[in-house]
Structure 1
């Protein structure tokens, strides 16, 4: 009788050592993502691979710090935690098995208030706040693809920050699980959120210089 070799398990699958081995027309899970051994950062949205923008420039990093630092300072007394990229967020649907998670993203900033969602690999489940700082070339991904997965996952607030326009825009999840847009804010205005009582983000300080 001919021996039939069983299909390899996730642990037995070979690593993916270079980005050239990635099939950008293929369908990938978080289990596949964990096999990536190259330095280039990729995200998976609904099973499809997306290249991330090149390493954030100085302005991008400065704005990230000017948003994450006030959040961190406001967390005293709260169980919420703030993380900045690179930080994996796995948006599971049916189960938390690696092979059945088809969206893993690296937002610029996340706030997670449910400690059970945090593990050694990042966050599994919807953060309370997701912040994306737009870079040239990634606007479509942030505004369309990520909007859909963040809404479906139940992210409570989705902040979009545009350094080029010096603007701040926020979607807030309503009681029906749908994002509702808010007013476009810019220099001279402030941001507050019910998720972090007492927190105030002064946009003039975010965008100065």
Structure 2
């Protein structure tokens, strides 16, 4: 009988210990390399979207953040050791200030945007 070869589940604690130069996300405890550095056109689109969204939301209770900005999904009431979903969307909108801390967003943001232009 063979013993299953289980892969370790990585958490937000592991993520914080890794080299800051690495562009990774963790989904269900599995590590995924992010795309290489975005193109100039990608950054132009991100700049325009973030500017327009920030201006639109200026008088509302929402804030706009752009990558790198950690979003810890399914993390409500969980420690960093129990958080296994960490992503960095291109653009993140958070209206519930209670989800924001010094590390980013803990819980589902109100909106995320991924720019697919390469």
In the superposition, the TM-score normalised over structure 1's length comes to: 0.51
Query: Residues of 2 paired with 1:83 and 1:38: CA distance?
Result: 19
Segments of structure 1 that go 5 or more residues without pairing to the other structure are 1-24, 135-162, 165-209
1:101 corresponds, among 69, 83, 88, to 83
Query: Residues of 2 paired with 1:71 and 1:105: CA distance?
Result: 20
In the TM superposition, what are the counterparts of 1:98-177 in structure 2 within 5 Å?
Answer: 98-134=80-116, 163=117
Contact 1:92 1:100 in 2 (8 A): no
Q: What is the number of equivalent residue pairs in this alignment?
A: 112
The C-alpha deviation readout for 1:129-164, integer Å capped at 9, x for no partner, is 100112xxxxxxxxxxxxxxxxxxxxxxxxxxxx37
Q: 4+ residue runs of structure 1 moved beyond 4 angstroms?
A: none
Equivalence for 1:56: 38
**Cα deviation, residue 75, structure 1:** 1.3
In the TM superposition, what are the counterparts of 1:42-53 in structure 2 within 5 Å?
Answer: 42-53=24-35
RMSD of Structure 2 on Structure 1 (CA): 1.4
**Cα deviation, residue 95, structure 1:** 3.3
1:32 corresponds, among 11, 14, 31, to 14
Larger relative CO (CA 8 A, sep 6+): 1 or 2? Answer: 2
Equivalence for 1:18: none
Q: Which of 1 and 2 has greater Rg?
A: 1
Segments of structure 2 that go 5 or more residues without pairing to the other structure are 1-6
Query: Residues of 2 paired with 1:112 and 1:68: CA distance?
Result: 13
Equivalence for 2:4: none
Query: Residues of 1 paired with 2:53 and 2:90: CA distance?
Result: 13
SS in 1 for 2:64: strand
Equivalence for 2:60: 78
